[in-house]
Amino acid sequence: MRLKYFYKRQRKRGLSPVVATVLLISMVVAIAVIVFLWFRGMVEEPITKFEGKNIELVCDDVDFDADYSNGFLDISNIASKNIPIYDINIRILSKGSENTKKLSEISEDWPKKGLNPGEVYSGNIENSVGNPDSITLIPVLLGNSEDGTKTHVCEESDGVEINNV
């Protein structure tokens, strides 16, 4: 009689070791996948230029002059190295508001392949920028990645700020 009671009681255990092991392994795999996807989203794919040089380092070598008066923007690429400026982001500050536009989208005169060293751009952008307090011109470079050609916007410190326009 005691033996029957013992066996009935023994069958009412928790999860079997096999089920517990499967649950534990699946939880570890799920957590690993979540961490992998989170980390992958944080790490950007490197964009390179000039035989593998990181494009962020190339931004330091970009050198251009700019002037804005009477609605006309003049840009001269004076880089000592062969660094074409693919596009320019124009950051417009006026009366407490801030707006950013791409020069290639607001000007038909911007060269399709960018502004090569030694070249000059001049165009009327008054209708697109209005009457700003200041504008900042931020270079955009074209580089290579594993997925093909990509653009990279340089830091604002690599750009040119024009005040009292």
Using one digit for the tens of pLDDT, what is the confidence trace for 39-83? 877 776 666 666 677 777 788 888 889 888 888 889 998 877 788
Q: Is the pLDDT of residue 164 over 80?
A: no
Q: What is the distance between the alpha carbons of residues 91 and 89, in angstroms, rounded to a whole number? A: 6
Domain map of the chain by residue range? 2-42, 48-163
Give the DSSP letter string of 53-113. EEHHHHHTT--EEEEEETTEEEEEE--SS---B-EEEEEEEETTEEEEEEHHHH-TTS-TT
| Predicted pLDDT at 23 | 92
Q: What is the distance between the alpha carbons of residues 74 and 65, in angstroms, rounded to a whole number? A: 8
Look at residues 75, 158, 159, 84 and name the one whose alpha carbon lies nearest to residue 117: 84
Q: Is the pLDDT of residue 19 over 90?
A: no
Choose between 33 and 133: higher pLDDT.
33
3-state secondary structure at position 3? helix
Question: Could you tell me which residues come within 8 angstroms of residue 3 by beta carbon, excluding any fewer than 6 positions away?
Answer: none
Q: Is the pLDDT of residue 8 over 60?
A: no
Question: Could you tell me which residues come within 8 angstroms of residue 47 by beta carbon, excluding any fewer than 6 positions away?
Answer: 54, 55, 143, 144, 145, 150, 152
| Predicted pLDDT at 11 | 58
Report residue 143's pLDDT band, with 50, 70 and 90 as the boundaries. Answer: confident
Average pLDDT in the chain: 82
- Asked if 100 and 156 touch (Cβ cutoff 8 Å), the reply is no
| Predicted pLDDT at 6 | 55
| Predicted pLDDT at 34 | 93
- Rounded mean pLDDT of 100-112? 87
Q: Is the pLDDT of residue 22 over 60?
A: yes
What would be the CATH architecture of the domain defined by 48-163?
Answer: Sandwich (2.60)
Query: The whole model's pTM is what?
Result: 0.69
Choose between 87 and 44: higher pLDDT.
87
